[in-house]
Amino acid sequence: MDTGDRPGRLAVGVLGAGRVGSVLGAALAQAGHKIVAASGVSDSSRRRAAERLGVELSRPEEVLRRSDLVLLTVPDDVLPDLVSGLAATGADLRGKLLVHASGAYGLGVLDPAAEAGALPLALHPVMTFTGREDDLTRLTGASFGVTAPVMLRPVAEALVIEMGAEPVWIADQDRALYHAAIAGAANHMVTLIAESQELLSRIGVEHPGRMLGPLLGAALDNVLRLGITGLTGPVVRGDAGTVRKHVDALILAAPEAADAYVALARLTADRALAAGLLKPETAERLLDALGGNIWT
């Protein structure tokens, strides 16, 4: 389809103009591709389609008909039915690039469409999308987990680079572990920090975020540069008495947080022991404080 722009530009449709779809569509538009249609079901999707993509919402079949590249940016649980539904309509999928942005899924979820002639790509942005205006700028310099058929790998990587991001190849069979790694880091970090802020607020700290900011910034910098050798704190020091005090305090104040603390302290001790940062006899004292066994 000729978009009227310079050669190599694609007509882009977005099936699911939510937080992710609207940002990826806008990034492709900045690269010179043309957004021709989008679908969605909510008022926020309608607003994002108008404000970020410059189009009104259309029916999915219309999005598919008009597009060279279709972004399938719907929730993970909806994606298989969406792909099967598109294939079942008998719509002409031949030669169309179908791109999903799910981290957990690989190419298999696109098989029904690929069997009908579509060209499948999995491009997952390693970034959080909050619906705020800075989502698009945050995409610049981020990584994408890229999975594609070998013949389409250059196309997939070129699209990511055009969006200002870095393509990182992920083998199809590794998608679930890849997603577990990045989701565990980002999502659980939010939970842990929010829990810490709440506990500090309970004891009268007025600005817990201000207190935690420098500490967490330094800790993040340490681990990204040094890995596990950047670890600090009572576990790696072998301060079993301090760890036990933490557990006792949390049992009284937030029992559910105490369970998480113990599990993470055990994992921390296990990693520290394997890296040679913690001596076996010191680890044993920590075991007693945590009431478990890191050797299993």
pLDDT, position 35:
97
Q: Which residues pair with 14 in a beta bridge?
A: 38, 71
Per-residue pLDDT of the chain (296 residues; tens, 9 = 90+): 444 445 468 999 999 999 999 999 999 999 999 999 999 988 888 999 999 999 999 999 999 999 999 999 999 999 999 999 999 998 899 999 999 999 999 999 999 999 999 999 999 999 999 888 889 999 999 999 999 999 999 999 999 999 999 999 999 999 999 999 999 999 999 999 999 999 999 999 999 999 999 999 999 999 999 999 999 999 999 999 999 999 999 999 999 999 999 999 999 999 999 999 999 999 999 988 887 544 43
CA 224 vs CA 167, 221, 229, 230: distances in Å: 19, 5, 10, 8
Listed in sequence order, the residues at least 6 apart from 78 whose beta carbon sits closer than 8 Å to its beta carbon are: none
pLDDT, position 5:
47
Using CB atoms within 10 A of its CB, is residue 105 exposed (0-12), middle (13-18) or buried (19+)? Answer: buried
Q: Against a cut of 0.85, is the pTM above it?
A: yes
Tell me the three-class secondary structure of the chain, residue by residue.
CCCCCCCCCCEEEEECCCHHHHHHHHHHHHCCCEEEEEECCCHHHHHHHHHHHCCCECCHHHHHHHCCEEEECCCHHHHHHHHHHHHHCCCCCCCCEEEECCCCCCCHHHHHHHCCCCEEEEEEECCCCCCCCCHHHHHCCCEEEEECCHHHHHHHHHHHHHCCCEEEECCHHHHHHHHHHHHHHHHHHHHHHHHHHHHHHHCCCCCHHHHHHHHHHHHHHHHHHHHHHHCCCHHHHCCHHHHHHHHHHHHHHCHHHHHHHHHHHHHHHHHHHHCCCCCHHHHHHHHHHHCCCCCC
Structural Rg of the chain based on CA atoms:
24
Whole-angstrom Cα distance, residue 145 to residue 101? 9
CA 60 vs CA 39, 48, 113, 117, 152: distances in Å: 6, 16, 14, 18, 25
Whole-angstrom Cα distance, residue 273 to residue 145? 31
